[in-house]
Amino acid sequence: MMIMEVYLDNSATTKVRKEVIDKMLEVLEEEYGNPSSLHRKGYQAEKLLKEARENVACLIGGRPEGIIFTSGGTESNNLALIGVAESLKKKGNHIISSTIEHPSILNVLKFLEESGFKVTYIEVDKKGKVNPEDVENAINDKTILISIMAVNNEIGTIEPIEEIASIAKRNGVLFHVDAVQAAGKIEIDVKKQKLDMVSLSAHKIHGPKGVGALYLSEEVRIRPIIFGGGQEKNIRSGTENMPGIVGFGVASRLAKESLEEVSQKLMGLKKRLWEGISSEIKDVHLNGPEVEEGAPHILNVSFRGVRGEVLLHALEEEGIYVSTGSACSSKKRGGSHVLKAIGLKGDLLEGAIRFSLGIFNTEEDIDYTVDILKKKVDFLRRFKRR
Ligand X SMILES: Cc1ncc(COP(=O)(O)O)c(C=O)c1O
Which positions are catalytic? Answer: 328
Residue 102 as a binder of ligand X (CB under 6 A): the answer is yes
Task: From 25-33, 71-79, 85-93, 378-386, give the range in contact with ligand X by CB under 6 A.
Answer: 71-79
Q: Give CA separation, 270 vs 10, 164, 341, 358, in Å.
A: 13, 28, 23, 10
Which lies closer to ligand X via its Cβ, residue 178 or residue 196? 178
Q: How far is the CB of 77 from ligand X (least distance, A)?
A: 6
Residue 254's nearest CA partner among 49, 28, 59 is 59
Task: From 15-23, 67-75, 304-312, 333-341, give the range in contact with ligand X by CB under 6 A.
Answer: 67-75
Size of the site for ligand X (CB under 6 A): 16
Cα–Cα distance for residue pair 92/84, rounded to 1 Å? 11
Residue 288 as a binder of ligand X (CB under 6 A): the answer is no
Residue 4 as a binder of ligand X (CB under 6 A): the answer is no
Q: How far is the CB of 342 from ligand X (least distance, A)?
A: 16
Which lies closer to ligand X via its Cβ, residue 72 or residue 83? 72
The β-bridge relationship of strands 212-216 and 284-287 is unpaired
Cα–Cα distance for residue pair 196/334, rounded to 1 Å? 34
Instruction: Check: CB of residue 240 under 8 Å from CB of residue 101.
Output: no
Which lies closer to ligand X via its Cβ, residue 79 or residue 315? 79
Q: How far is the CB of 211 from ligand X (least distance, A)?
A: 8
Out of 35, 73, 156, 296, point to the residue binding ligand X (CB under 6 A).
Answer: 73
Which residues face 177 on adjacent strands? 198
What mask, x for binding ligand X by CB under 6 A, covers residues 175 to 194?
---x-xx-------------
Which lies closer to ligand X via its Cβ, residue 55 or residue 76? 76
Residue 325 as a binder of ligand X (CB under 6 A): the answer is no
Query: What's at 154, amino acid-wise?
Result: E
DSSP track, 79-97 = HHHHHHHHHHTTT--EEEE
Which lies closer to ligand X via its Cβ, residue 78 or residue 93? 78
In this structure, what is the dihedral angle of CA atoms 286, 289, 293, 297, given to the nearest 10 degrees? -70
Number of other CB atoms surrounding residue 200 within 10 Å: 31
Cα–Cα distance for residue pair 325/156, rounded to 1 Å? 12
Out of 22, 328, 332, 363, point to the residue binding ligand X (CB under 6 A).
Answer: 328
Out of 33, 62, 66, 212, point to the residue binding ligand X (CB under 6 A).
Answer: 212
| Helix pair 363-385, 259-280: axis angle to 10 deg | 30
Query: What's at 350, amino acid-wise?
Result: E
Helices (H) and strands (E) in the chain, counts: 12, 12
Residue 74 as a binder of ligand X (CB under 6 A): the answer is yes
Helices marked H in the chain — which ranges?
A: 18-29, 40-59, 73-88, 103-114, 132-138, 161-170, 242-257, 259-280, 308-316, 337-341, 346-350, 363-385
- How many residues in total does the chain contain? 386
Q: How far is the CB of 214 from ligand X (least distance, A)?
A: 11
Out of 93, 201, 231, 329, point to the residue binding ligand X (CB under 6 A).
Answer: 201
Which lies closer to ligand X via its Cβ, residue 157 or residue 201? 201
Q: Restricting to residues 75-94, name those near ligand X by CB under 6 A.
A: 77
Instruction: Check: CB of residue 338 under 8 Å from CB of residue 155.
Output: yes
Q: How far is the CB of 153 from ligand X (least distance, A)?
A: 3
Task: From 73-81, 246-254, 280-288, 297-305, give the range in contact with ligand X by CB under 6 A.
Answer: 73-81
Q: How far is the CB of 383 from ligand X (least distance, A)?
A: 32
Out of 149, 266, 366, 370, point to the residue binding ligand X (CB under 6 A).
Answer: 149
Q: How far is the CB of 224 from ligand X (least distance, A)?
A: 18
- Which residues contact ligand X (rule: CB under 6 A)? 72-74, 77, 102, 104, 149, 153, 178, 180-181, 201, 203, 212, 326, 328
